[in-house]
Amino acid sequence: MMKKIIALLLFALSFVSIAQKSPSCCVKPGENTFALLTKRKDFKDAHMSPRPFHYESEKGEMIKYKTPDGSTANAFAVKSGATPKAVIFVFHEWWGLNDYIKREAEQLQKELGNVDVYALDLYDGKVTADASEAGKLMGGLDFKRASNIVKGAFDMIGKDVKVGTVGWCMGGSWSFQAAILGGKQVNACAMYYGFPEKDKEKIKAVNSDVLYIAANNDSFISQTDRDQFVKDLTVSGKKITVKGYDADHAFANPSNPKYNREFAENAKTIVLNYFKKNLGL
């Protein structure tokens, strides 16, 4: 009898150990997916330190705005100078709101015309070029705080303007989270190799269709997860367009040594046309 009890205890302990080491099948992007990813070597290897870059903006500026949690948030704002037809929210990678993202925001505004573009700072002022530090920032990102940063941005622009969202990697996932939070106000959501949302109820809350830019050689966003994401969106009545490239993760980031200029420019043209169509530009 005692041997059976000991055997059962050992089995239970081994099960707990496995459960602690293995990511849950129910892990949701934006909550603790990123904390888990920072422990993976293939994820770290795909995010080589960005090349040094300093950007002098022509008309963009850092602003502060109020958030629902009683605090304030930062954004890099590039405005059209007129009443905009739409607003674009831009979401940064795990490095933070660096000069590459600021340049991308300014280029989007210039190419789209009568839009205001806001690159939101999910890290409250923290920026790094060190992969180890970036891992800590992304892994420690508080989901509620980040959500309040996004909600505050919607409050700032008001309810009478169409919104498009775009982001890369971590920012790609937050582009989708912003589409959830913005509901019917969001008419376009572009995700560059973002982590697919798995919560079917959240997916139902998205109003817009989705443009997903995929890196086919991505080692940590599985084809299975992508396929399920497409299925869940389709079942909920949303249209998703997937454009895949035979490239590595972060191929569209000019600061990454694995940057593929041809693919990046092609993807950007697709994203611009998508925004023009869905936002009536």
Q: Return the pLDDT at 55.
A: 77
What is the Cα–Cα distance from 209 to 196, expressed in whole angstroms? 14
Range of the domain at 165: 30-279
The answer as to whether 140 is a domain residue is yes
The answer as to whether 266 is a domain residue is yes
The answer as to whether 21 is a domain residue is no
Domains in the chain, number: 1
The answer as to whether 105 is a domain residue is yes
Other C-beta atoms lying within 10 Å of the C-beta of residue 160: 6
What is the Cα–Cα distance from 167 to 73, expressed in whole angstroms? 18
What is the Cα–Cα distance from 103 to 100, expressed in whole angstroms? 5
Biggest alpha carbon–alpha carbon distance for the chain: 81
Query: Beta-strand (E) ranges in the chain?
Result: 61-66, 72-78, 86-91, 115-120, 162-168, 186-192, 210-215, 240-245
Query: Beta strand 115-120 with 186-192: parallel, antiparallel or unpaired?
Result: unpaired
**What tens digit of pLDDT does each residue of 64-101 get?**
999 999 999 999 999 998 899 999 999 999 999 999 99
Angle CA 179–180–183, to nearest 5: 80
DSSP 162: E
Structure tokens at 179: 């589409």
The answer as to whether 156 is a domain residue is yes
Give the chain's residues under pLDDT 50: 2-31
**What tens digit of pLDDT does each residue of 18-70 get?**
333 333 333 344 446 665 665 666 565 656 666 666 778 789 999 999 999 99
What is the CATH number for 206? 3.40.50.1820
CB 165 within 8 A of CB 153: no
Phi-psi region of 75 (alpha: psi -120 to 50; beta: other; left: phi over 0): beta
- Between the two ends of the chain, the Cα-to-Cα distance in Å is 76
The answer as to whether 6 is a domain residue is no
The answer as to whether 18 is a domain residue is no
**What contacts 118, CB < 8 A, 6 or more positions away?**
75, 76, 77, 78, 87, 88, 89, 90, 105, 153, 157
The answer as to whether 14 is a domain residue is no
Q: How many residues does the chain have?
A: 281
CB 109 within 8 A of CB 115: yes
SS3 for 260? coil
CB 123 within 8 A of CB 150: no
The packing angle between helices 170-182 and 143-157, to 10°, is: 60
CB 193 within 8 A of CB 168: yes
CB 188 within 8 A of CB 278: yes
